[in-house]
């Protein structure tokens, strides 16, 4: 199969990987209440943490990251850089809008990191460093993700990766959209902090 023929396959592959709801699967296997009925109702690691199971939250974060990385690496190996980028977009959209959950998925932070790892690991390190610094300073997971994702496309553009910068500008815009309620709560001073159970 030619590299160009791999492009739609890469997107679909990415979507299927991204749409695996690891947070929901792990909490169901652990016998906790439906993850969608607590906290933000989100299926990501931050909401899993609200169940009181730190190990499950860590596993969710890791697996959500790895599904993005795997999609990018596999697509890139067969179809080249453009296929890898399409797989990244597909994985991100799959996590946000999984067909299995009536298109109601997570907010994309872990998958954002995962596809960064697969495409350009240096930028993933920058993202994680910014996330951690903001989280330590504020204890707001959402704000940490917003700050780190805002800087990421600027970092990529500054260091000579215009195509990746454009891709991550789109992913960042989607991430901000998925965090619109968090942004409102941050503005109102009602956003929950890391480790709080609501």
What is the per-residue DSSP string for the chain?
A: --TTTHHHHHHHHHHHHHT--HHHHHHHHHTPPPGGGSTT---SHHHHHTTT-HHHHHHHHHHHHHHHHHHHHHHHHHH-HHHHHHHHHHHHHHHHS-GGGTT----SHHHHHHHHHHH-HHHHHHHHHHHHHHHHHH--HHHHHHHHHHHHHHHHHHTT-HHHHHHHHHHHHHHHHHTHHHHHHHHHT-PPPTT---
Number of domains in the chain: 1
pLDDT of residue 171: 98
For residue 28, being part of any structural domain is answered with yes
pLDDT of residue 51: 74
Domain of 124? Answer: 6-188
For residue 194, being part of any structural domain is answered with no
pLDDT of residue 36: 73
pLDDT of residue 194: 72
pLDDT of residue 196: 61
For residue 198, being part of any structural domain is answered with no
pLDDT of residue 84: 97
pLDDT of residue 174: 98
For residue 195, being part of any structural domain is answered with no
For residue 94, being part of any structural domain is answered with yes
pLDDT of residue 42: 75
For residue 193, being part of any structural domain is answered with no
For residue 121, being part of any structural domain is answered with yes
pTM, rounded to two decimals: 0.91
pLDDT of residue 2: 65
For residue 35, being part of any structural domain is answered with yes
pLDDT of residue 37: 67
Q: For the chain, 198 residues long, give each residue's pLDDT as a single digit of tens.
A: 666 778 999 999 999 999 999 988 888 888 777 677 676 667 777 778 777 778 888 999 999 999 999 999 999 999 999 999 999 999 999 999 999 888 888 999 999 999 999 999 999 999 999 999 999 999 998 999 999 999 999 999 999 999 999 999 999 999 999 999 999 999 998 888 876 655
């Amino acid at each position: 199969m030619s590299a160009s023929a791999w492009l739609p396959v890469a997107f679909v592959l990415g979507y299927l990987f991204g749409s695996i709801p690891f947070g929901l699967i792990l909490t169901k296997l652990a016998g906790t209440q439906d993850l969608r009925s607590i906290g933000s109702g989100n299926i990501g690691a931050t909401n899993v943490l609200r169940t009181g199971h730190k190990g499950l939250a860590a596993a969710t974060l890791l697996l959500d990251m790895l599904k993005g990385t795997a999609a990018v690496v596999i697509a890139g190996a067969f179809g080249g850089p453009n296929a890898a980028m399409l797989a990244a977009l597909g994985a991100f959209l799959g996590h946000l809008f999984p067909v299995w959950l009536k298109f109601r998925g997570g907010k994309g932070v872990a998958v954002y990191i995962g596809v960064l790892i697969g495409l350009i690991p240096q930028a993933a390190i920058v993202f994680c460093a910014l996330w951690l610094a903001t989280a330590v300073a504020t204890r707001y997971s959402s704000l940490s993700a917003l700050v780190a994702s805002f800087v990421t496309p600027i970092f990529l553009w500054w260091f000579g990766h215009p195509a990746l910068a454009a891709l991550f500008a789109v992913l960042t815009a989607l991430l901000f959209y998925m965090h619109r309620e968090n942004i409102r709560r941050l503005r109102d001073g009602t956003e929950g902090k890391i480790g709080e159970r609501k």
